Amino acid sequence: MAGIDPARMSGSIVPAQTIESTTVNMAKLHKKRTSFAKPAPLSTRAAIVLDIERMTPEGRGLSHYQDKPVFVEGALAGEQVQVRLSAEHSRFAEAVTEKVLQPVELRRQPPCEYYGRCGGCSVQHMQYGLQLEIKQQAVAEQLSKLAGLKPQEWLPTLTAGEWRYRTRTHLAMLWDKQSKVLRLGFRARKDHEVVEVGHCQVLDPRLSELLPALKALMLQYPHKERLGHIELVAGDEHRALMLRLTAKADAAWLSEMTTWCEAQQLQLWLQEGEQTQPSCHWPAPEQGGLYYTLPAFASRFDFTPADFIQVNPALNRLMVEQAMALLAVKPGERVLDLFAGLGNFSLAAARAGAEVIAVEGTKAMVERGNANAQRNGLSAVQFHCADLMADFSHQSWAGRSVDKVILDPPRAGALHAVRHVAGLKPSKIVYISCNPATLARDAAELDQLGYRLIKAGAMDMFPQTSHVEAIALFEPYKRGGQGKKAAAGSALARRYSGRG
C-alpha cells in the first residue's frame, strides 16, 4: 500500500488522513462488473470466477454476477477470485473465496492456522494498514449515506497494535453423544460447529497459554453433557476462569479443577444450574480480585468476570484519553455520563475536577461503579440506575443542568438519550459508538436538534475483525446555522424509531 508501512502503524495512533486523500487509492482497484454470456443460475454453478470491484464497510469484496451483487469473504478490491456460493437471496448473493487467481499487493498470508475455519478473525488476509483504512471509510460512508453528514475534521484512527490484545474470550464446548467426542474452542464461521484451537494470536498470552490444558481438564468431567462454556478474563494483574454448567458441579472433579487453578494462580468462578450470576469458588475475596487501571487518570476499576469491560485495555486507555481531550472538562463543570458501566469515563471526568452524574442500566454495575468511585477517592461521582433505551425524563437526575455529556451506548445506539441530552443544551457531546450505522442515525437526530458534527474517527478495538468502533464530537450550531441535512436526518431518525 503506497505511503503506508503496516509495521509502523502498530504504534499508538495512525497518522490522520482525510477520506478524500485515502492512501489505499480504492479508485485504482475498482474494476468493471463481471459479465458472462448466458450464465447458469448462480446456485447451480460449482465454481464462479469474479472480479472484485471494491470493498464493503464490513471488509468483504463486492462483485456482480447476472447483475446481482455478490459479497465475497476473503477477497480484496482489484483481485480475481474463484468463489463458492454460501448463500443466495432475492437481491444479492454471498460467497467465500476458494482460490485467489490474481492477488493484489495489499493481500498477506493470514498468520493464524485457524483462519477460514474459526469465526473470529475474518480480515487477517488484509495488511493491517488496509484494515484500518476500511474501518475509517466505514464510519465516513455511514455518516454520509445514512445521515448526509461529514465532520469538520477527521480524527486519527486509534490503534494499539494488531496482535495479543484481547483480555476476554468465550470458549464453546460441544459434546457429541454418539461419537463421544468433546470439542472445545471457538465457534466456526456461519454454523454451530466448534473449531478446536491450541492457541490464539489475538488473545492475551496469559490466556492463550491456558488453552491446551483446558481440553484435558474438561475431558475428565464425568457428565460432559452438562458442560456449558468457559470465559477466560484477564485484568492488569490477575486472571480468571468462569465455567458455566447446567447443573451443580461434580464435587470430586471440582476439587481437582481447584487444585489446577491454584497452581496457575487462576481465579475459578462457577455459574451452576439456574444461577443467573457466577460466584467465586477460589480464592477467597480478600486475596484480591480482577481490576484494570487508567494510569493517565490515576484510577483503578475492580470488576468480576461477568461485568462488561473493554477487551482491549491498551486501546481503552487511548480511547478514554481522547474522549477526555474532546470533552475538555474544566474543574467545577457538571458532566453527564450515560451508559457509564463501571465508570470508565466517569472517573476520568471526576479526576479532571468535574461533578459527574453517571447512569447505567443494571443495578449490579451501578453498585460496582459507586464502589469504584469511593475506592478512588472521587466523591463527586454519583451512579444512578435507569433504562436508557426508554423515556427516562422522570428520573430525579434527568432534569439537572449539565455542561457536557458523554455517551457509550450498545449497538442499538442512543436515540432516546440524544433527544433528551440535546434539550439540556450542553456545550459538548462526545459519543462513543460500537455501530457506525446507529451513530449515523443518532448524529442525524442531533443535527436536527441543533448539534453539529465537529470531529469523528474510527477506533480499532478489535484488530483482525470487521468490527468498527467510532468516536464523535458534537457542539451546538451557531444561531441560524443549522445543517443542510437536518430535515432529512430527522426523517431518517423517525424511520428507525417508528415515530412520525
CATH of the domain at 88: 2.40.50.140
How many Cα atoms sit within 13 Å of 331 on the Cβ side?
A: 1
Is 444 within 8 Å of 485 (Cβ atoms)?
A: yes
Please classify residue 67 by burial: count the beta carbons closer than 10 Å to its beta carbon, then call 0-12 exposed, 13-18 middle and 19+ buried: exposed
- Domain stop point among 287, 302, 327: 287
Torsions phi, psi of 421, nearest 5?
Answer: -70, -30
DSSP string across 335-365: EEEES-TTTTTHHHHHHTT-EEEEEES-HHH
Question: Both 420 and 354 in a single domain?
Answer: yes
Model pTM greater than 0.85? yes
pLDDT of the residue at 487: 44
Question: Does the bond joining 283 to the residue before it have cis omega, within 30 degrees of 0?
Answer: yes
Question: Both 357 and 484 in a single domain?
Answer: yes
Q: Total domain count for the chain?
A: 3
Task: Could you list the residues known to form a binding site, using ranges.
Answer: 112, 118, 121, 200, 310, 339, 344, 360, 387, 408
Q: Would residue 341 count as lying in a domain?
A: yes
Question: Both 406 and 276 in a single domain?
Answer: no
| Cell reading at 116 | 477460514
pLDDT of the residue at 228: 96
Question: Both 269 and 365 in a single domain?
Answer: no
Q: CATH number for the domain including 281?
A: 2.40.50.1070
Question: Both 273 and 220 in a single domain?
Answer: yes
How many Cα atoms sit within 13 Å of 229 on the Cβ side?
A: 10
Distance CA 415, CA 445 (A): 8
What count of residues does the chain have? 500
Q: Would residue 115 count as lying in a domain?
A: no
Question: Both 182 and 250 in a single domain?
Answer: yes
Question: Both 433 and 387 in a single domain?
Answer: yes
Please classify residue 229 by burial: count the beta carbons closer than 10 Å to its beta carbon, then call 0-12 exposed, 13-18 middle and 19+ buried: middle
Q: Would residue 273 count as lying in a domain?
A: yes
pLDDT of the residue at 478: 85
Is 402 within 8 Å of 334 (Cβ atoms)?
A: yes
Question: Both 307 and 398 in a single domain?
Answer: yes
Q: Would residue 97 count as lying in a domain?
A: yes
Question: Both 278 and 297 in a single domain?
Answer: no
Task: Could you list the residues known to form a binding site for S-adenosyl-L-methionine, using ranges.
Answer: 310, 339, 344, 360, 387, 408
Q: Would residue 349 count as lying in a domain?
A: yes
pLDDT of the residue at 41: 60
How much helix, strand and coil, in percent to the nearest 5, is found in the chain? 25, 30, 45
- Domain stop point among 267, 287, 307: 287
Buried b (16+ CB within 10 A) or exposed e, 418-457: bbbbbebebebbbbbbbbbbbbbbbbbbbbbbbbbbebbb
Read off the amino acid at residue 101.
Answer: L
DSSP string across 405-459: EEE---TT--HHHHHHHHHH--SEEEEEES-HHHHHHHHHHHHHTTEEEEEEEEE
Q: Would residue 116 count as lying in a domain?
A: no
pLDDT of the residue at 190: 73
Domain of residue 255, residue span:
168-234+239-287
Q: CATH number for the domain including 298?
A: 3.40.50.150
Question: Both 226 and 101 in a single domain?
Answer: no
Question: Both 150 and 200 in a single domain?
Answer: no
3-state secondary structure of 281: strand
Distance CA 88, CA 72 (A): 12
pLDDT of the residue at 32: 43
pLDDT of the residue at 19: 36
Distance CA 361, CA 341 (A): 8
Distance CA 115, CA 108 (A): 12
Buried b (16+ CB within 10 A) or exposed e, 329-358: beeebbbbbbbbbbbbbbbbbbbbebbbbb
3-state secondary structure of 376: coil
Q: Could you list the pLDDT tens digit for every one of the 500 residues in the chain?
A: 434 333 333 333 333 343 333 334 444 444 444 444 445 566 555 789 999 999 998 899 999 998 899 999 999 999 999 999 988 999 999 999 999 999 999 999 999 999 989 988 999 999 999 999 999 999 999 999 999 999 999 999 999 999 999 999 999 999 999 999 999 999 998 778 999 999 999 999 999 999 999 999 999 999 999 999 999 999 999 999 999 999 999 999 999 999 999 999 999 999 999 999 999 999 987 777 999 999 999 999 999 999 999 999 999 999 999 999 999 999 999 999 999 999 999 999 999 999 999 999 999 999 999 999 999 999 999 999 999 999 999 999 999 999 999 999 999 999 999 999 999 999 999 999 999 999 999 999 999 999 999 999 999 999 999 999 999 999 999 875 555 454 444 444 444 444 33
Q: Would residue 137 count as lying in a domain?
A: no
- Domain stop point among 254, 287, 320: 287
Question: Both 352 and 437 in a single domain?
Answer: yes
pLDDT of the residue at 40: 55
Element (H, E) at 241: strand 239-245
Q: Would residue 15 count as lying in a domain?
A: no
Active site residue 385: no
Element (H, E) at 85: strand 80-88
Of 261, 280, 385, 434, which one is the catalytic site residue?
A: 434
